[in-house]
Structure 1
Amino acid sequence: MQTLRRTKLKVLKMSAKLDVVIFGATGFTGQIVVEKAPEILQGLSWGIAGRNKNKLESVLKTAGQAIGKDLSAIPIILADVDDRLSIEQMARKCKVLINCCGPYRFYGEVVVKACIEAGSHHLDISGEPQYIDGMQVKYHKLAQEQQIYVISSCGFDSIPAEMGVVHAERNFPGTVNSCEMFWENILDYQDKSSKAVLHAGTWESAIHAMANFSESQRLQRALGDTKLPDLQPKLKFWRFAKKVQFLDRYFFAIHSGDRDVVMNTQRLRYINDQKRPIQFENYIGFNSLWTTISTQMILMFTIIMAQIPGLRGLLIKNPKFFTRGLMSHEGPVAANRKAQKLQMTFRTKGWVVGQPLSEEPKQELMTRISATDPFYGMTSVAILAAAKIILKERDKMPDNGGVISPGYAFANTSLIEELSQLKDGIKFEVLKLEEH
């Protein structure tokens, strides 16, 4: 009798349009998103989607056991990226689709297109520049016509960086000229049997991004039809390892990922809102000079290897070997995931209120964000919170929809406050404000 009631409840829920559907729920990240969903989507209707019904039921059972709730009545939708009709049907069954099915370079476009045509908002956690820019080039106007949001990078890439810049600007009493982000990852292995911090899916996406760098440049040119102003004073960056005294660590610049997304936000601000763009640089840091230099060298050699098809295949098949165990097909174990810590310190410079922009900027603000389990726990919380914001605060978002970046989409919403309150969310701090 109880099973019958559950079945009837599931059918009843599926007859109406769900608020949120989590697609790719059986993947490594998708399973964690499902586990976080009951807390964040309280009061909203939601379901899960994927190819295999038995695996989807198993995900609900496992997530339910982890949080002490019965999730068996959560609706299940069968959808496969190789079956366009099933993707279209899934898109029509929700208001917001959370897409966890990557690599997005191969599997993302069919879902984006289906969502726009169905009138459903689309969120994903991609950090793949060719996919992100490609969707903007191809579908931005269509999404605007439908008044639909398509927003990528709603996880580790790039909610911390994007909302970190928003937070810095909110707390800067004056006009911002530049913002530098210093990213530190703190690993504290609780389970010594595994060094993995990321799943191999992330590694595969990164290799394809490196291999198709020229495509990314072409797409950037296609997006850059409006030239940004020549901002002064120009923010300079250092290409090679350098010690940052106020953090007592060594850093080098990374011109990809977060930086691309943040600069896209600044481009949209300038084009649509006539706001002065913020210059941005992104650095990653380590305790020792040797680790910093060797990491940069390994990254450079990986980029070179990714250009050669045979070596590219070798890289993709052997993530554990080429990353010294930091990425694997098994992904990080739960104990190590929860022990990982992210810290991003933002140095923001600009002009005090009333100061002419022709003068040298006098003001400097230091802010910080931090999170535990950033790659999976925080990522899952962030994309669910973003979905909730779309449903609850549409009036605070850009009113014409489109394929846009998270910093532009959520700048005027309460996403920062939401993330600050959630378990596995993000802590936002103001460290100090100085006038030179």
Structure 2
Amino acid sequence: MSQKLDVIIFGATGFTGQIVVEKALEVLEGLTWGIAGRNKSKLENVLSTAGKAIGKDLSAVPVILADVEDPYSIEQMAKKCKIVINCCGPYRFYGEAVVKACIEAGTHHVDISGEPQYIDGMQVKYHQLAQEKRTYIISNCGFDSIPAEMGVIHAEKNFPGTVNSCEMFWQNILDPRDRNSKAVLHAGTWESAIHAMANFGELQRLHRALETEKLPDLRPKLKYCPFVRKINILDGYFFAIHSGDRDVVMNTQRLRYINERKRPIQFENYIGFGSLWTTILTQLILLFTVVMAQIPGVRNILIKNPKLFTRGYMSHEGPVAVNRAAQKFQMTFRTKGWTEGQQLSEEPKQELLTRISALDPFYGMTALSILVAAKIVLKEPEKMPNNGGVISPGYAFAKTSLIEELARLKNGLKFEVLNLEQH
């Protein structure tokens, strides 16, 4: 390989990695790309399967052997491209070796992790070095963080005034078509979530390390409701979920305040269902799982039995294609703030409703999101901030064409402005 590839998809034989390869030809048009992993025959099979699915011959796509247990192979992979798309998780165990190799090689890195301890840990440990190397390390580049981050940015762009707060109401339509399989998520997502729950104390320490400057005391405070409630603007019941989405959005607000002196937007996210009983049961199962994840022996039982503890919605086999195609999500954003010319000391009078939606959110949307993120890093460096660093996607892509790119793709994200009111 005489010249550097533009992109290498690492972890291409994994469940999500295979879908990223399938979508690569559409998104990475005009760029050179290859795939990487530890097993050559499996990698070649991924290309063959993806090629048949899209009706293209992918046999000429370069195959690179790289294994996280072999640091030299990871270093060599990083030197062979301009950006690594890392699909190899759980990132808590396998992510740092790839990040370190990319920074040392001056190669950009994007991944689909939603693991807060890994994400914050990489920022604490490698941010300064990444800046020195002018290298971007950007996690959370899949579902559901990209929709959450871009949803806030889209709402702010369409808000005629100053934003004080933004609430996100997330609903999934899960209608498994294959009645032999309820699965909508792969067990890898479940394992990552369990480890994140089990190491909550570590996350608090990392947050303190990142809070180098105190954010302003914003008024009026966005009220937080921990209980299940009906939302009058939507058909459904919701409860607050302090998942990685809230962390990544608030990290973006922190970075924009510190580096741009931009007023932070207060943010809360809620997940909802059509049935009151389903919403209450889901919240109880989540709380039970968080408690059980603290106990090492029980934690291993949880990890090994995703089907049992998620009522069949997560499995080691992952969702079949027909179930992926039947899934849809929508995130509705209620944004409040001040009208043009209104004093910020007054009560906010303006309210804007916006929405993002897409099909196949967990895998198809994730694949498109990380591919577009990688493409933007390469194509629009002048619109990216700070010439490098370990940063969040909302901060990285706020001034780029990421929203427009995602909106124009087949089965991409749909962005809508629903309603604007003054109170």
Which category describes the TM-score, using the shorter chain as reference length? over 0.9
Q: Does 1:317 align with 2:285?
A: no
Mapped contact 2:131–2:386 kept (Cα < 8 A): no
Q: 2:314 aligns with which of 308, 314, 327?
A: 327
Superposed CA RMSD in Å reads 0.6
Q: CA deviation at 1:213?
A: 0.3
Mapped contact 1:124–1:383 kept (Cα < 8 A): yes
Q: Deviations over 1:228-284 (max 9, x none)?
A: 110000000110100001102100001121000000000000000000000000000
Alignment partner, residue 285 of structure 2: 298
Q: Does 1:380 align with 2:358?
A: no
Instruction: For 1:379, give the aligned amino acid.
Output: T
Give me the whole-angstrom Cα distance separating, in 2, the residues matched to 1:35 and 1:15. 25
Mapped contact 1:306–1:315 kept (Cα < 8 A): yes
Mapped contact 1:91–1:115 kept (Cα < 8 A): yes
Q: Does 1:156 align with 2:146?
A: no
Q: Secondary structure at the match of 1:320?
A: helix
Alignment partner, residue 264 of structure 2: 277
Q: Does 1:431 align with 2:395?
A: no
Q: 1:188 aligns with which of 168, 175, 180?
A: 175
Q: CA deviation at 1:157?
A: 3.4
Alignment partner, residue 336 of structure 1: 323
- TM-score, structure 2 as length reference: 0.99
Runs of 4+ residues deviating >2 angstroms: none
Give me the whole-angstrom Cα distance separating, in 2, the residues matched to 1:128 and 1:288. 29
Unaligned runs of 5+ in 1: 1-13
Mapped contact 2:164–2:338 kept (Cα < 8 A): yes
Alignment partner, residue 339 of structure 2: 352
Mapped contact 1:32–1:376 kept (Cα < 8 A): yes
Alignment partner, residue 85 of structure 2: 98
Aligned length: 423
Q: 1:76 aligns with which of 20, 41, 63?
A: 63
Q: Does 1:404 align with 2:403?
A: no
Q: 2:94 aligns with which of 107, 111, 121?
A: 107
Q: 2:196 aligns with which of 205, 209, 216?
A: 209
Q: CA deviation at 1:341?
A: 0.2
Q: Deviations over 1:274-320 (max 9, x none)?
A: 00000000000011111111111110010010000110000000000
Alignment partner, residue 3 of structure 1: none
Instruction: For 2:206, give the aligned amino acid.
Output: L
Instruction: For 1:327, give the aligned amino acid.
Output: M
Mapped contact 1:126–1:157 kept (Cα < 8 A): no
Mapped contact 1:184–1:285 kept (Cα < 8 A): yes
Give me the whole-angstrom Cα distance separating, in 2, the residues matched to 1:31 and 1:424. 17
Mapped contact 1:348–1:364 kept (Cα < 8 A): yes
Q: Does 1:143 align with 2:130?
A: yes
Alignment partner, residue 9 of structure 1: none
Give me the whole-angstrom Cα distance separating, in 2, the residues matched to 1:73 and 1:350. 53
Q: Secondary structure at the match of 1:49?
A: strand
Q: CA deviation at 1:399?
A: 3.2
User: Structure 1 residues 243-252 or 78-87, which shifts more?
Assistant: 243-252
Give me the whole-angstrom Cα distance separating, in 1, the residues matched to 2:266 and 2:196. 24
Unaligned runs of 5+ in 2: none
Percent sequence identity is: 80
Give me the whole-angstrom Cα distance separating, in 2, the residues matched to 1:369 and 1:408. 19
Give me the whole-angstrom Cα distance separating, in 2, the residues matched to 1:99 and 1:48. 10
Alignment partner, residue 8 of structure 1: none
Give me the whole-angstrom Cα distance separating, in 2, the residues matched to 1:256 and 1:221. 18
Q: Does 1:415 align with 2:402?
A: yes
Q: Secondary structure at the match of 1:348?
A: strand
Give me the whole-angstrom Cα distance separating, in 2, the residues matched to 1:31 and 1:249. 34
Q: 1:198 aligns with which of 185, 199, 216?
A: 185
Q: Secondary structure at the match of 1:252?
A: strand
Mapped contact 1:125–1:157 kept (Cα < 8 A): no
Give me the whole-angstrom Cα distance separating, in 2, the residues matched to 1:290 and 1:119. 51
Q: 1:174 aligns with which of 143, 150, 161?
A: 161
Give me the whole-angstrom Cα distance separating, in 2, the residues matched to 1:205 and 1:172. 36
Q: Deviations over 1:140-197 (max 9, x none)?
A: 0000001110000000031000000000000001000000000000012211110000
Q: Secondary structure at the match of 2:219?
A: coil
